[in-house]
Amino acid sequence: MRQERLTNALQQALADAQSLAIGRDHTAVEPVHLLAALLRQSGGSVRPMLSQAGFDLAGLEGELEAQLQRLAVIKNPTGDITISPDLMRLLNLADK
């Protein structure tokens, strides 16, 4: 993944996803963190696009919250966090 090729909105969403993961003491930043961050992004395009496509946004947010609650938690968080292999794979595919 080449960060310079990411849009400002995606860079901000990744930072928000990282903050979400750290705030919940998760072991890594996962795709679910990124999707949650994209949905919460003020002025972003993901929420309106999904809404226009007919997605149940409240249901999606509820499922995302359930998924976030199932993720592993660090007992003694240090503030250091990594990108999960799944999220890295997703970002690399998007970079193609």
The pLDDT of residue 63 is 98
Q: Does the structural domain 3-95 have CATH classification 1.10.1780.10? A: yes
pLDDT tens readout for residues 19-41: 999 999 999 999 999 999 999 99
Average pLDDT over every residue of 81-93: 95
Query: What pLDDT score was predicted for residue 13?
Result: 96
Say whether pLDDT at 78 is over 80: yes
> Residue 16 in contact with residue 41, Cβ under 8 Å?
yes
> How many Cβ atoms from other residues are within 10 Å of residue 44's Cβ?
16
Cα separations in angstroms, 51 against 1, 10, 47, 90: 29, 19, 6, 23
With a cut of 70, say whether residue 1 has pLDDT above it.
no
> What's the predicted TM-score (pTM) here?
0.90
Model pLDDT, residue 96: 78
- Does residue 7 register a pLDDT over 90? no
Domain boundaries, the chain: 3-95
| CA dihedral over 22, 45, 42, 4, signed as positive or negative | positive
Q: Report whether 43 contacts 55 (CB < 8 A).
A: no
pLDDT band at 77 (very low <50, low <70, confident <90, very high): confident
